[in-house]
Amino acid sequence: MGSDMDWDNVRAPSLADFERIADEAFARLPESFRARCEGLIIRVEDFPDDEIAAEMELESPFELLGLYQGISHVERSVMEPVHMPDMVFLYRRPMLDYWAEYDEPLGGLVTHVLVHEIGHHMGLSDDDMHAIEEAAGRG
């Protein structure tokens, strides 16, 4: 990427760019992990909506990089009625802000947030999630 980069024509990654980065990050995750995510929907939005911001008591919409919405795999029961699909929200603007502040590739950041949002709901430990990130090619 050296000094020959044409910064006059570079734009911040769009919502569509983020969706592509997230899809590629998800595809690189180990098969055993992805198999547990059947039906998972990944949504990219600029910021959490007002309802989520209030529910999470955010002081700023930049505080939240991602959010998992769904029933935790730890609490899920075979007997329960049909539920809404599990969704992971990735928030573009807070992630861009984080990316600007820390020396980390954007794809790695997206992978990290994706794994952690899904992993916490599966009841995985930080060590488990780190191993999944390692397997996906992010150190």
Element (H, E) at 91: strand 87-91
**pLDDT band, residue 34 (cuts 50/70/90):** very high
pLDDT at residue 20 tops 70: yes
Strand partners, 41: 87
Residue pair 56/64 in contact (Cβ under 8 Å)? The answer is: yes
**pLDDT band, residue 120 (cuts 50/70/90):** confident
pLDDT digits (tens, 9 = 90+) for 80-108: 666 678 899 999 999 999 999 998 899 99
| pTM, rounded to two decimals | 0.86
Which DSSP state fits 138? -
124: closest CA among 44, 37, 15, 22? 37
- Gyration radius of the chain over CA positions: 16
Residue pair 22/114 in contact (Cβ under 8 Å)? The answer is: yes
Which DSSP state fits 3? T
Could you give the residue ranges of the DSSP H alpha helices within the chain? 15-28, 31-35, 50-55, 92-101, 106-122, 126-135
Range 12-73+83-135: architecture per CATH:
2-Layer Sandwich (3.30)
What is the C-alpha to C-alpha distance for residues 41 and 88, in angstroms, rounded to an integer? 6
pLDDT at residue 138 tops 60: no
Please compute the mean of the pLDDT values over residues 45-69 and round it to a whole number: 96
Which DSSP state fits 103? -
